[in-house]
Structure 1
Amino acid sequence: MAATIYDFEAEKPDGTKQALSDYEGQVVLVVNTASKCGFTNQFEGLQELYQEYRDDGFTILGFPSDQFMNQEFDNIDETMEFCRRNYGVSFPMFAKVDVKGKNADPLFQYLTNETKGLLGGEVKWNFTKFLIGRDGRPIERYAPQTKPEKIRNDLKNQLSE
C-alpha cells in the first residue's frame, strides 16, 4: 500500500499523466468535484483559498466525478470550461474519476482507507475534501457540506508547520 499521495499519478484532462510527487512539500487539498451539484458554488471558496495561499506552498487538486446522480458533464472539456468561466478556477483539475466502488481511482482508495475513522469509509458525495500535509499524508477529511472557508484555520496551521 502507498505511503503518501506522492506515490500516485493522476490523469490530466488532456489524457497525460502527472505524478503527484510534483506537489511534494506542499499542503494539498484533494476535492472530488461536480459541475451540477448543490455544492458546486464551493468552487468559489476553493478558488479564494487557492489564490490566498498558493504562494505559501498550498494547492488544490480537483477531481471531477460523475458517480453521484450524474452531476458532471460527459465531456471533460465542458467541465474545465464551466469551472473557468463560472468560478475562475485556476487550481489544477484532473480527468473525471470514480471516487468510490470497485473502480475507484487508486488515489481515492488510498485517501478513504487512510481517513476511514474520520467520516467512515468511501466517499459519499461530491465535494468531499482531504487535507494533505507537506509530508504527503492525509491529515483531515471534510464532509461535502463543509464550506472551504471552514477549512482555513486547519490550512493555516499546516502552512505554518
Structure 2
Amino acid sequence: MGSREKQWLVPVVLFGLLQLSFGDPDKQVCPPSSGTIYDYGATTINGWEHINLGQYAGKTVLIFGLQEPGNNHEILPTLKYARLGNGFVPNFQLFEKGDVNGRKEQGLFTFLKNACPPVGENFGNPTNRLFWEPFKGSDIKWNFEKFLIGPDGKPVMRWFPRVNVSEVRADILQYLQKYNS
C-alpha cells in the first residue's frame, strides 16, 4: 500500500465508525434532557380548554404532527364522516393546529427538536422549497414525524415519517417492556 492510499485509510475508517455510532438515521434515541413536556401546554382542537401537559405525568405519550388543510373546527367532522368515516372518533386528545417549524413554532416542538437528534435525510436545498424561516437542521421534515415521551415527561425516541408503523409499534412495546420491568 502506497503512502497516498495510507493517507485516506484513517479518514475512511473514522468516517465508517462515525456513521455506525449514529445508528439508523430514520429513528433516534433521545439523549437525557433537562426539561420535560410538563413545562408546556396546548389548546384542545375545539379551542375550549388549555391543557397543561403535566396531566400526562406517569404516562407514556406519543406526539406526532399531521399536516391538515382544514380548519380546527373541520377536522373532527372530517375524520368522523369523510376521511376515515363510519363514525370514527379518535380515542386520544387532539390539539389545535400550530407551527412546528420556523419563527412561530410552538414551544413544545422547539423543546422536542432540541431534545432529540434529527431523523431522516437532509431537506436538500431549502431555497424555494420550504415555507418557514429560519431553517434549522433539527426541523420536522414532514407529516407524522413522531416523538415518544416517557412517563417522566422526557423524550425517549424520534422517528422519521417513513418508518413503518409496525416498527414504531415494536419500538414502543420494547420500551414499555423495559420501562415496566
Q: Does the alignment reach a TM-score above 0.5?
A: yes
Gaps of 5+ in 1: 36-71
The residue type paired with residue 169 of structure 2 is: R
1:34 & 1:147 partners in 2: Cα distance?
A: 18
Matched residue, 2:142: 125
Matched residue, 1:67: none
1:145 & 1:81 partners in 2: Cα distance?
A: 27
Shift of 1:82: 1.9
2:164 & 2:93 partners in 1: Cα distance?
A: 19
1:6 matched to 2:38:
yes
For residues 56-100 of structure 1, the C-alpha deviation after alignment (integer angstroms, 9 at most, x for no partner) is xxxxxxxxxxxxxxxx21x21211222334333221110001000
Q: Which secondary structure state, in structure 2, belongs to the residue aligned with residue 116 of structure 1?
A: coil
Shift of 1:117: 4.8
Q: Could you tell me which of 144, 152, 156 is aligned with 2:161? A: 144
1:23 matched to 2:40:
no
Identity between Structure 1 and Structure 2 (%): 33
For residues 36-60 of structure 1, the C-alpha deviation after alignment (integer angstroms, 9 at most, x for no partner) is xxxxxxxxxxxxxxxxxxxxxxxxx
RMSD: 1.9
1:5 & 1:149 partners in 2: Cα distance?
A: 25
The residue type paired with residue 21 of structure 1 is: G
Q: Aligned pair in 2 of structure 1 residues 27, 4: CA closer, same or farther (>3 Å)?
A: same
2:105 & 2:159 partners in 1: Cα distance?
A: 19
Matched residue, 2:77: 81
- The aligned length equals 124
TM-score normalised to the size of structure 2? Answer: 0.62
1:105 & 1:116 partners in 2: Cα distance?
A: 18
TM-score normalised to the size of structure 1? Answer: 0.69
Going by fraction, where is strand more abundant, 1 or 2? 1
- For 1:25-44, what aligned pairs fall within 5 Å after superposition? 25-35=58-68
Matched residue, 1:49: none
Q: List 4+ stretches of structure 1 deviating above 6 A.
A: none
Gaps of 5+ in 2: 1-32, 121-136
Higher-Rg structure is 2
77-86 or 134-143, larger mean C-alpha shift: 77-86
Shift of 1:2: 6.7
User: 2:38, 2:57 within 8 Å by CA — same for their partners in 1?
Assistant: yes
